Structure 1
C-alpha cells in the first residue's frame, strides 16, 4: 500500500504543459515528483516567510515565532505570530519579551495597512516585511506554494513551523 503525504510546497515545474508535473515538498519533509491535473487550477500561488527571533544576532541562534503569507491573486497578506516565553528564556533569559511582542504585533498591523504601510500595496508590504535585516526579528527565506484558502494555509504553516 502506498503511503499518503500532503504536498506543502511547490518547488519547481519539470516542464510546461496541461498536466503540470513538478517537484513538491511534502509534510513528511520528503521531495516528490507530482503530476497535477487541471493545469494547476486547484490553488492560488502564494509566498511565505517564517518570522524568526534571533536574540543575539552575532550567535545566529533563532526561534520561529511567526509566518508571513502573501497571495496576490486573493489580495491576501497576513502574519500569524506566537511567542513562547519559555523557549525564548531558555535561549536568551535577558530578552525583553514585551518589546518583542510589540514588534510582532506591529507585523500584523503593517499587513493590515496601519501607519506608513497605508500607502503601500500588499506586495510591497510583503517585500518590506520579508526583506533581510540584522535585527532581533527577521524573516527567513521566501518560499512559494499553492493554496485554495490562503488563511487556512497560513494557519497550517503556523502549526507546522512555529508551534
Structure 2
C-alpha cells in the first residue's frame, strides 16, 4: 500500500493543476440541464402572472361597472332599465392596460347563472326575469369579457340592489 502511494505521488507531482476535458463537459451538461429547467419555470411563472393580471383587471372593471350602476340606481331605481335576457354591453372598459367589454344583466327577479355547456370554465346567464318594473329590488349580473381572447368571459359577478322607501 505504501509503495502504491509513493508511486501515485511521484507520478502526479509534476502534473499541472486544472480540470480535465471530461470534468468540464460534465459540468456544462449539468448546468445546461439546470438552466433549461429554470427557463421553463420562469416561462410558466410569467404566464401565470399575466393570467393573474388579466383577472385582476377584469375584477376592477366589474367593480367599476357595479359602482356606476349602484350610483344610478341610488338616485332612482327606474333610471336603469331592466334588460331581461338581452344584456346591455358596455364596450372598451380599460383597466391595468387591458381592454374589456362588460355584459350587464338587470333583472327584477333572481337570475339563473349556470355553467356554459360549450365552455365549462365559464358561466352564462340563462334566464333573467323582467317581470314587474315597479319592484324596489334589482338583480344585477356583470360578465367581463376579454376581447383579445375570443370574447372569453373572464369574470362574472352577481349582486342585488334594493332601494329603501322613504
TM-score by length of 1: 0.23
* Greater RCO (Cα-Cα under 8 Å, separation 6 or more): 1
